[in-house]
Structure 1
Amino acid sequence: MATVQESIDVAVPVTTAYNQWTQFESFPHFMGGVESVVQQDDTHLRWTTSVAGQTREFDTVITEQLPDQRIAWTSLDGVEHAGVVTFESLGAGETRVNVEFQWNPESATEKIGAAFGADNAQVKSDLKKFKEFVENHGATGAWRGEVDPGPVGTTF
């Protein structure tokens, strides 16, 4: 399993950063390789990605969601992965966004890329684009509901 951990400070209140992150269908605006995300219901997402000429479709489920604090997910099919995004208030107008996930690279290209940190570099770039997006546009929507992880909890 490969592990990715990246953080960025954004100059918006924690509620604004969190609210924008809940707008999953906007991810193609700031995530490289993400062609589309379709939110099927409160917890299920259908992703289409294109990386290194390879298009993939897969489903994820949100396993935990606490407004202004965290969103955790796991894959249901496709490449095995799970992770969490947390939001830390650094004051009235600044938030630290932390992304951590684990994934199981399958192809030789994915394994080589993970070994050389390409996945970390992509997430770092995506977070910079998220910062620009949310600082320039604010939140384009919000979902303030909670998803309870239940008695088992999440990996992260």
Structure 2
Amino acid sequence: MSTLEEHIDVDAPLETAWDCLHRPETYPRFLNGVRDARPEGERRTHLDVDTGGRAQGFEVEIADREMENVMTWRTTSGPDLAGTFSLLPIDRAHTRLQARFEYDPDTIKETFGGPRGFAQATAIERGVRSDLQQFKELAEAEGKGR
């Protein structure tokens, strides 16, 4: 397994960022490749994802450690992927989102296509950074609306 860790500071309260992470309908707005997302019970979410030009459905199990402001996720169907989102309050109006993504490089290649080796790691890193930037924009817009 390979691991990627990134973070971004968000100009929104922790509660706003936490709420955005827990509404599957917002996932297509900040997760590249996710066409649709919907809850499938209390701890499961179904994602319709564009995987190299074709649609594929993934089931994702989500668990919270609310006292620590941590959301963990893992796929239960489709490729073997997992990750963690940790929210850390900077102050009352700002939050740091730390993301950890765990993946098998061969699984990523088989499922999504694209390069291998260093080029693949760079592409994944760029994608995660883009997703975090889009999440930041979403959470900040929602924070201003409150």
TM category (shorter chain) comes to 0.7 to 0.9
Aligned residues: 140
Partner Cα distance (2:77, 2:32) in 1:
21
Name the structure where helix makes up a greater proportion of residues: 2
Question: Which consecutive aligned stretches of 4+ in structure 1 deviate over 4 angstroms post-superposition?
Answer: none
TM-score by length of 1: 0.80
Q: What amino acid is the match of 2:59?
A: D
Root-mean-square deviation (CA), in Å? Answer: 2.2
Distance 1:67 1:18 in 2: 12
Measured in 1, the distance between the counterparts of 2:76 and 2:94 equals 34
Structure 2 distance, partners of 1:133, 1:48, is: 20
1:124 aligns with 2:129: yes
Match of 2:140 in 1: 135
TM-score (norm 2): 0.85
Percent sequence identity over matched residues? 26
Shift of 1:65: 3.7
Distance 2:34 2:4 in 1: 17
In terms of mean alpha carbon deviation, does 100-109 or 119-128 score higher?
100-109
Correspondence for 2:28: 28
Q: Where does the alignment leave 5 or more consecutive residues of structure 2 unmatched?
A: none
Kept in 2: contact 1:34–1:47 (CA 8 A): yes
Establish whether residue 112 from structure 1 lines up as the match of residue 116 from structure 2. Answer: yes
Q: Within 5 A, what are the aligned runs for 1:1-156?
A: 1-66=1-66, 69-104=69-104, 105-106=106-107, 107=109, 109-110=113-114, 112=116, 115-138=120-143
Q: What letter matches 1:7 in structure 2?
A: H
Question: Which runs of no fewer than 5 residues in structure 1 stay unpaired?
Answer: 141-156
